[in-house]
Structures are given as structure tokens and as C-alpha cells.
Amino acid sequence: MPAVTADTLTLPRVRSVPEQGTRWREATKVITARKSLEGEGFEVRRPFPGMDLSLADPFLLLDHLGAVEYAPGEAKGAPWHPHRGFETVTYILDGAFEHTDSTGGGGLITDGATQWMTAGSGVMHSELPPEHFVATGGLFHGVQLWVNLPRASKWAPPRYQDIGSGDVTLLASDDGGALLRVIAGEVDGHRGPGVTWTPISYSHATVAPGARLALPWPAEFNALVYVLSGRGTVGTHARPLEEGQLVVLGAGEALTLRAADSQPQASRQGWEVLIMGGLPLREPVARYGPFVMNTKSEILEAVDDFNSGRLIRTSPEHVVDDLPHRTDADVGLGLGEQGA
């Protein structure tokens, strides 16, 4: 996969975590992602929501797109639709997505790049494969993570962060057997480029076959590991975890993963995992399609604002007239269960 790669021998290393006397985080729950259709009808694997969402707090949703080999004309995306009250974080490992939004933000996300969109008070956007990619087809692999905003920030002006593949912070594990790409937050004091509203940590790791990755992890954060491809084990009790599975780790101060010696062909460079966690918000969550607020009345307000074209009213700098006015029937407000 062309997500950024590097020679781990040349990179800064995460400090070693002592084997003894460390409170290792162990697997408490393993979830196999459910499959569903999103946008114009592309398949995603979705480990959450579906489980007790407080386990993922401050994250709301994780969609795993691909890896899929599209035939010419087959690639699909999600045309104009609204969001309010949270952030969508799209990380593309293979292939490309073109993003356009009502803040004027946007661009091509491709091969290891991340697009971090804060919907805040309200945004309209489209997420589509570029024309040339639709025409040729090809390998597509990406993930979209939804990060909740605390009550105090739900009405923040929308913001767009374009994080290029060359911007991620690259680290090696203590013995050089794993490569970490820190997209946002920190790992062992090494900060990634993504600017977040509340403390979170989000990384993509490639753990070489047979290698171990141990990381210090803030005790006050939750910790989740999702497998993009390959197989391995988590925790000192070696709980097996394979492609499409998410593990919720329990309390502790460090986490440990080990890649299986033998990996499937598609994951021959190693076990590909997302490692994420954050400080739980512990606030009420009211969700409907593409809106995530604290109360049901705020959701009704968002739907009403969207239907009357006022969704992005709170951001006077936006050129609202340029936007096609769409009704929920046009954009499919109920894009699948949660929206794209």
C-alpha cells in the first residue's frame, strides 16, 4: 500500500516500555465490523457505532472502505450532504477522493493523505472519487473516522485541515520492527500534524511480520485498535485480531501488539492497524444521519436548518448563494444508517 513508508532504522524511536511493572492494557472486547452501504452505494466495514458507543468516546464512527479493486466506472462516493456537530477525518491509503465543501475547503486526498474536516456549526460537502480514477478504476483503500466535538465546540466555525502524506510524523518502535504514522495527537510525546479540539491520538502502524509494538499510552485515554489488513495479537494475553476487527483495550498505561509471523499476501509488509484513543467527553449524544448533537431538540433544529437552507448560516464568510440548495430527498439525509 502506498500510504507513506520509510526506513524505520532512520526514524526517531518510541521509548521502550519496561516488560515488568507496567500496567499493560488488555483486550476487553473484540468487535467484527458490520458491512453496510454508504453514499452512492459503496460498501464499508463499520466496527462502530453498533457497540456501546461510550467505549469509543470521543469517537463516533469508523468506516473502512476497501481495500477494493474497482473496475472502470465502478468507483463511487458521497455527493453533497450536510454535517453538524463533529469532525470527519478521511485517511486514504490507496486511490483518491476529491473533497469539496461549503467553506471553500477541499482538494485531492490520496496515497497517505488525510483530510480533517470540522463540521462544527454546519457544513455541506461532497466526497467523490476523481473523474480519472472512476475512468481507470484501480485499488481503493481508506478510512473515515468521526470525532465528536464537546458541547462547547459544536458551534465552532467549520474548519478544513489538509494533511499531506509527507506531513505525518513518522516514528519507529523501540526495536525498529514497526513504523508509526502519527496523524493527530501524540505518541510518546511525538506530535502529529492534525489539530484536534480535545485530546486524542490517531496513528496508522505497520508492524513487520513477527514484530512487536509497545507504546506508552495516557492512562486517562481510551484505546482502540482496528485492523486494516493482516493479523496479529493484542495485549500480554495475546488476543488474536484480524482484518476488519476492532479491539477495545482496558485500563492501563501502555499497549502492546504483535504481528503474526505469517501474513496474507495483501499485507506482506506487515500487520496494518489503526491505533486511536482520546479523553472521553462523557456528554449526552443525540445522533441523526449526518448530525451529532447533545439533545434531540438540537437534532430537530439541524434538520430544520438544513431543509430551510440555513445549515451554514452561522458562518457569514461563506458564500451561501454558490451552494445548490438541496432537500434531504436530493442528498439522501439518511445516507445509510449514519450518513457518509
| Closest-CA residue to 185 (of 153, 158, 145) | 145
Smallest gap, in angstroms, from Cβ of residue 100 to Mn ion? 11
- Measured from the CB atom, the residue of 16 and 327 that comes closer to Mn ion is 327
Give, in order, the Cα–Cα distances in Å from 281 to each of 71, 151, 275, 311.
42, 9, 19, 25
**Quick one: which H or E segment has residue 249?**
strand 245-249
**What residues contact 228, with CB distance under 8 A and at least 6 apart?**
64, 93, 141, 143, 204, 243, 272, 273, 274
- Measured from the CB atom, the residue of 77 and 278 that comes closer to Mn ion is 77
Smallest gap, in angstroms, from Cβ of residue 339 to Mn ion? 6
Smallest gap, in angstroms, from Cβ of residue 68 to Mn ion? 19
- Measured from the CB atom, the residue of 200 and 340 that comes closer to Mn ion is 340
What residue is closest to Mn ion based on CB? Answer: 340
3 state DSSP class of 190: strand
Smallest gap, in angstroms, from Cβ of residue 337 to Mn ion? 14
- Measured from the CB atom, the residue of 99 and 231 that comes closer to Mn ion is 99
- Measured from the CB atom, the residue of 241 and 340 that comes closer to Mn ion is 340
3 state DSSP class of 312: coil
Residues that bind Mn ion (CB under 5 A): 340
Smallest gap, in angstroms, from Cβ of residue 147 to Mn ion? 13
- For residues 42 and 77, is the Cβ–Cβ distance under 8 A? yes
3 state DSSP class of 32: strand
Per the omega criterion (within 30 degrees of 0), is the bond before 58 cis?
Answer: yes
- For residues 95 and 259, is the Cβ–Cβ distance under 8 A? no
- Measured from the CB atom, the residue of 159 and 239 that comes closer to Mn ion is 159
Smallest gap, in angstroms, from Cβ of residue 226 to Mn ion? 19
**Quick one: which H or E segment has residue 296?**
helix 296-307
The grid coordinates of residue 109 equal 486526498
